Structure 1
Amino acid sequence: MPAKEYRKAKTGLAVVTLFMLFAGEAIRNLLGWEIFMGMGVLITAIYIVVIIRARHLIHWRSIPFWLAFFALFAVASVAWAYSPANTALTLWPFIEVTIGGVGIALTLPWNDFIRALGTTLRWILAASLLFELWVSFFVGHAIYPVFIDTSGEKVPAVYQWSRNLLLEGGPIQGVVGNRNQLGFIAVIALIVFSIQLAQKTVWRNWGTVWIVITVAIIGLTRSATDLIALLAVAVVALFALWLRAHLASQRRPVYLTMLGLGVAGIVTVSVAREQILSLLGKGSDLTGRTDIWAAVTALAEQRPVFGWGWLSPWVPWLEPFNNLAVRSGVHYLQAHNVWIDVWMQLGYVGVIALGIAIFSLLSRSWFIAVDRPQWDLVETRPYSPSSLLPLLVTVALLTQSFSESQLVVQSGWALVVIFSLTVMVPTRITKALS
C-alpha cells in the first residue's frame, strides 16, 4: 500500500476506534451488545497486528512505568480477586482499550491524531443533535435502547436512550444516552476545536460554527460536572498562556499567583459549599453520590491494600457490587469517583500507582505546554496551540474523576494511554509542529 494511502487508513481506523470509545453506547443501543463486542474484537486484532509491525518504535525508556504498572497490576488482580471469572470478564474490555490506545499513540502522527479526534467528536456531536431532533419531531416520546424490553413493568427513566427534552431546553443525552457523558464529550470537543481554529487547520468560519454548536450542547446537557471541568480547563489554559508570555526567569510571580488562587479556591469551596452546590442545582448529597461513596468505602476497607479485584464497570449480577450504588431503584455500576472505585478494586497499591501515573502525565504535559519546543540548540521556535492538548484534556479528565469513574474505562483510559505514551517522547509533539 502506498505511504499516503496507508496513512489515511491508519487515520480512518483511529476515527472508528475513537468513535467506539467515546460513543460505544450508540452502537450498543442501536445494534445490540453482540455486534458491538464483535467490532471490538475485530479492531483489537487489527491493532495487535499494527503494534507488532511497529514494535521497533517501542523503547523501554519511552514506556510510562507507573501507567504500565497500574495496567499490569489490574490484570494480575485476577489472582486474588473476589470473583476471578468476573474480574477476567471485565479485564477484557480494559485490555482492548489499552491495546487501541497504544496502537494509536505509536503509529499515528500527532497532527493526524488531532485530526482524527476532531473528526470523531464532530460526528458524535452532529449525530447527537440529529438524533435528538428526530426523537422530538418524528417520535414524540422518550425511547429506550433496542436491548431493553419495555413491554413488561415500567422501566426507570434513567435507562432511556433519549428523554425527548430537546424542545424543552434539555437536558439532552444524545446518541450516548447520558447527559454527563455527552457534556464531557463536548468539553473535550471544545478544547480540540479551539486548538484547531487557533492552529488554522480548519476553515475559520467552519471552526467557529462548530465551537458555537459545542457550547450549545454543553448548555443543553445541563451537567454541573462538565461545567466544573470546563471551568478548570479555562483557568489552566489562561495560566499556561500567561506563562508563555514570560521568560523562564520571570515566571515566579505567575506561579505564586497560581498558588494563591488555588488556596483561595479551596477555602471558598470549603466555606461556601452549600451555596455553590445550590447554584449548580445539586443537593448536599451531590445527587446521591455521597451515599454511594460511603458504601464503596465501607467495602474497600475490608480489603484495603490489594482490593477486591478489577471490576470496571461492576457486573450487575454479582453480590455485593450490584447493590452498592442503588438510587430510586436503579443499580449503578460505578462509584462516581475513580479514586474510591480503584481503591475498592485494587486497594492502596492501585490508587498510588494510578495517582503517580496521572501526576506524571500532568507534569510532563504542563512543561510541554508552557515551554518552547526544543530538541536542539534553537531556543526561539514559536509556541503551538496543539501542544496544549494533552494538558487541557488531562485537566478535564482529572476534574471529572472526582464525580465519575470514566478515567479508567473506555475513552477516558484510552486518552490517558495515548497522552502518557506521547509525552514520554516530547519530540513526537514538538517535531510534528515544526
Structure 2
Amino acid sequence: MKSSVRSDEPLLYRPAFVAAAEPPSGARARVRFAGFVLFTALGGDAWQSLLGWPAFIALVVGLTIACAVVLVRSHRLSPVRWTRCSKPLAAFLVLCTGSLLWSQYTGATALGVTAQWLAAIAGVTLAVTLTWLEILRALGVALRWLLGLSLLFEVYVGTIIRQPLHALWLFSGGQGVPPEYEWSSAELLNGGPIQGIVGNRNLLAFLALLALIVFAIEGVERTRGAVNSIFWLAVALLAHSLTRSATVLMATVGVAFVLLIALLIRRVPVHKRLVIYPFGILGLAGVAYATITLSDQLFPLLGRGDDLTGRVDIWNTVLNLAWQHPVFGWGWVSYWAPWVEPFKGLIVIDGTEYLQAHNAWVDLFLQLGFVGVFVFGCLIAATTVRCWWMAVDPTPSATVGGRPAPYQAIALLPLLLLAALVIQSLTESRLLVEGNFLLLVLLATKVKLDPLPLGPPPRAVVG
C-alpha cells in the first residue's frame, strides 16, 4: 500500500527527529513497519492459531527488538525528554514489575511482566517515531489487512470447507475441541456470527469498530481517495454486522455518543462549556442505563444470554477471590496462567477454560488490588483529559494565515480510540494485554509528547 508525505506538511504533524527533510521512502518505511507491528499486536490470536504459541512468541520478541533498535536510533538523532512521558503509565509498569515481590505465582508473574514490557516498548516506539498522520495511516494499513483477510478467510471456510475449522496448532488429545476454540464456525452463509482470522466474534467486531473510527477520519482528512474510503467503510460495517457482537454494539453506541458530544462542544464558546458538560455526563449515564435495560431484548436477538454470556457469574467468582488480597492483589499475570493456582480450573463454562475476568477493572483488582485499580485509573483519567482537550480545545495562539487554526478530524482520533478501549474494558480484559494495551501506551505517550496536530491538514492521497 502506497503512502506519501507532503513536503509542506505542518511541523506539528512531525516528531522532532524527522522534522528535517527526508525522502518519502523513509515515511513509507515507518508506516509499513508500524502497520505490521499493529497487525501483529491487534491480530495476535490469528498468529497463535496459525503458527502456535512458540512461533508467535518468537515473532513478538523479534518485533520488540526491532522496535527497541528504532527507538534508540531516533533518540540519538533527537533525544526525547522522558520526563515528559506519561508518569501514570510508568507507575503502572513499575507496579506490575514490583508485584514480583508479593506474587502468589512468581513464575507466571515474570512471564506476564515480560509480556507487558514488550507491548509497552512497541507502543512507546510508535508514539515517539511516528507523526499523528503516520499513526492514522499505520492503523489504516493494519486494520485493512485484518478485516480483509478475515472476510476472505470466512468466505473460504464457508464456501470451500463448509464446516467448522479448528485452529491449526490446537491438539485436542481425542477429547474434542470446545466450540469457543473453533477458528471459524463456518456461519458466513447463514448470516453469521463470523469470527475472522482472530477466531472470536467479539475481537473481530472490536477491530471493525476501530476500523470505522480510522477509516472515517481518513475519509474526512482526504488522506485516501473517496472511493477507497467508502469501500473500506462498507467493509468495516459489513464485518461489524456479521459478528453480531452485543458487547461491541454497546461500545459502538458509546463511541458514537462521545463523538456527538465532542462535535457539539467544539461549537460552544469556551466560557459556556461548563453548562454543557453535566448534560454530557448525564447522557453517558443514560446510554449505559438504556443498554442495561434493553439487554433482555437485545442480547437474545444476537444469540446471547441476558447476563452478558455468563460474565456476571465470572465477575462474582473473581471478586470473591480478589478480596483475599485486596490491597496489592495476587500479583500481575495479564492472561491467567491455567497451570498455576488459583487460575487452574477457576472458570470453566461448557468445557472451555477462561483465562480472563472479562472485565479489565475486575482483573486489575484481582491481580494488583486497590492500588492497581487506582494507578491504572489515574492512567486512564490523565490520558482521557489530554485526548479530550486535544479534540475540542485547540491552542488559542495557533494560527494559519492569520486566522485561528481550524479543528481537524485527526484531533478526534485519540479520543475515539480511547473511548472504544475503555468501553470495551467493561466486558473484556483485553485493555490490559497485547494490542489493546499497546494502543493505550501509544495514546498515553503521544498525547503527552505531541498533543495538538494543528495547521492545514495534509491532503496527500494514498493508493
Q: For this structure pair, what is the TM-score category when the shorter chain's length is used for normalisation?
A: over 0.9
Aligned to 1:262: 284
The one-letter amino acid of 1:406's match is R
Give yes or no for the alignment of 1:398 onto 2:422.
yes
Say whether the 8 Å CA contact 2:406–2:454 is kept in structure 1. Answer: no
In 1, Cα distance between the equivalents of 2:174 and 2:311? 30
Correspondence for 1:415? 439
Change (3 A) 1:392 1:264: same
**Could you say which residue in structure 2 is the equivalent of 1:141?**
163
- Between stretches 60-69 and 375-384, larger displacement belongs to 375-384
Does the Cα contact within 8 Å between 1:110 and 1:432 map onto a contact in 2? no
- Preserved CA contact (<8 Å) 2:330 2:367: yes
Q: Which residue of 1 aligns with 2:37?
A: 17
Q: What's the TM-score, normalizing by structure 1?
A: 0.94
Q: Is the 8 A contact 1:57 1:106 kept in 2?
A: no
CA contact (8 A) 2:348 2:354 kept: yes
CA distance in 2, matches of 1:387, 1:149: 46
The 1:428/1:35 distance shift into structure 2, 3 A limit, reads farther
Q: Are 2:80 and 1:75 equivalent residues in the alignment?
A: no
The residue that corresponds to 2:410 in the other structure is: 386
Deviations 1:148-196 (A, max 9, x none): 1246122111101010000001100000001000000000000000000
Aligned length: 434
Q: Distance in 2 between matches of 1:167 and 1:269?
A: 29
Is 81-90 or 145-154 further displaced after alignment? Answer: 145-154
Distance 2:319 2:231 in 1: 45
Q: Cα–Cα, structure 1 residues 272 and 155, in superposed 2: closer, same or farther, change >3 Å?
A: closer
Distance (whole Å) between structure 2 residues aligned to residue 258 and residue 232 of structure 1 = 12
Residue 184 of structure 2 is aligned with which of 162, 182, 185? 162
Contact 1:368 1:426 (8 Å CA) reproduced: no
**Equivalent residue letter for 2:254:** A
CA shift for structure 1 position 421: 0.8
Residue 140 of structure 2 aligns with which residue?
Answer: 118
CA deviation digits over 1:346-384, x for unaligned, max 9? 111111000111011111111110113556477611110
Q: TM-score under structure 2 normalisation?
A: 0.89
CA RMSD of aligned residues (A): 2.1
Within the candidate set 33, 36, 51, 1:31 is matched to: 51
Contact 2:64–2:118 (Cα < 8 Å) also in 1: yes
Q: Distance in 2 between matches of 1:135 and 1:343?
A: 40
Query: Contact between 2:221 and 2:457, CA under 8 Å: does it hold in 1?
Result: no
Pairwise mapping of residues 235-314 of structure 1 onto structure 2 (< 5 A)?
235-265=257-287, 268=290, 274-275=296-297, 277=299, 282-314=304-336
Say if 1:84 and 1:196 are closer, same or farther in 2 by CA, change over 3 A.
same
Equivalence for 2:72: 52
Q: Does 1:43 align with 2:67?
A: no
Instruction: Write the distance in 2 (CA, Å) between the matches of 1:132 and 1:270.
Output: 31
Q: Distance in 2 between matches of 1:138 and 1:271?
A: 41
Q: Tell me: CA distance 1:101–1:235, structure 2 relative to 1, closer, same or farther (3 Å).
A: same
Say if 1:19 and 1:124, in contact at 8 Å, map to a contact too: yes
Letter in 2 for 1:16: F
1:366-413 Cα offsets, whole Å, 9 max, x none, are 111011355647761111001001001111111110100011111111
Aligned 1:61-210 pairs, distance under 5 A: 61-150=83-172, 152-210=174-232
Distance 1:307 1:11, change over 3 A: same
Q: Structure 1: which 5+ residue stretches go unaligned?
A: none
1:320/1:261 CA distance change after superposition, 3 Å: same
For 1:273 and 1:27, the matched residues in 2 are separated by 33
- The answer to whether the aligner puts 1:360 opposite 2:415 as a matched pair is no
> Which whole-Å CA distance do the structure 1 matches of 2:354 and 2:345 have between them?
8
The whole-number CA distance in structure 2 between the counterparts of 1:270 and 1:20 is 34
Q: How far 1:279 sits from its partner (Å)?
A: 6.0
Q: How much does 1:291 deviate?
A: 1.2
Structure 1 residue 50: Cα displacement? 1.6
Q: Tell me if the contact between 1:292 and 1:335 (Cα under 8 Å) persists in the aligned partners.
A: yes
Output the amino acid matched with 2:43: A
Contact kept? 1:110, 1:428, Cα under 8 Å: no
Q: Deviations over 1:28-58 (max 9, x none)?
A: 2112222211111111111111222233442
Structure 1 letter corresponding to 2:424: Q
Identify the residue that residue 449 of structure 2 maps to in structure 1: 425
| Paired residue secondary structure (1:304) | coil
Which residue of 367, 371, 383 corresponds with 1:345? 367
Are the equivalent residues in 2 in contact too, given 1:109–1:428 (CA < 8 A)? no
Structure 1 residues 246 and 428: alpha-carbon distance in aligned structure 2, compared to 1, 3 A threshold: closer
Q: Deviations over 1:82-105 (max 9, x none)?
A: 111111112222111110001000
How far apart, in 2, do the equivalents of 1:304 and 1:433 lie?
A: 49
234-243 or 260-269, which deviates more: 260-269
Seq. identity, %: 38
SS in 2 for 1:429: coil
Helix, strand or coil for the counterpart of 1:334? coil
Taking the aligned partners of 1:25 and 1:247, their CA distance within structure 2 comes to 46
Q: Is 1:4 matched up with 2:9?
A: no
Q: What runs of 5+ residues in structure 2 fail to find an aligned partner?
A: 1-21, 459-463
CA distance in structure 2 between the aligned counterparts of 1:317 and 1:271, rounded to whole angstroms: 39
Instruction: Find the aligned partners of 1:265 and 1:152 in 2 and give their Cα distance.
Output: 47
**Conserved 8 A contact 2:99-2:368:** yes
Q: Measure the CA separation in 2 of the matches of 1:407 and 1:432.
A: 33
Of residues 211-220 and 238-247 in structure 1, the stretch that sits farther from structure 2 once superposed is: 238-247
The whole-number CA distance in structure 2 between the counterparts of 1:167 and 1:281 is: 16
How far apart are the structure 2 equivalents of 1:145 and 1:370?
Answer: 45
| Contact 2:217/2:409, CA 8 A, preserved across alignment | yes
Q: Give yes or no for contact 2:327–2:371 (8 Å, CA) kept in 1.
A: yes
3-state SS in 2 of match to 1:161: strand
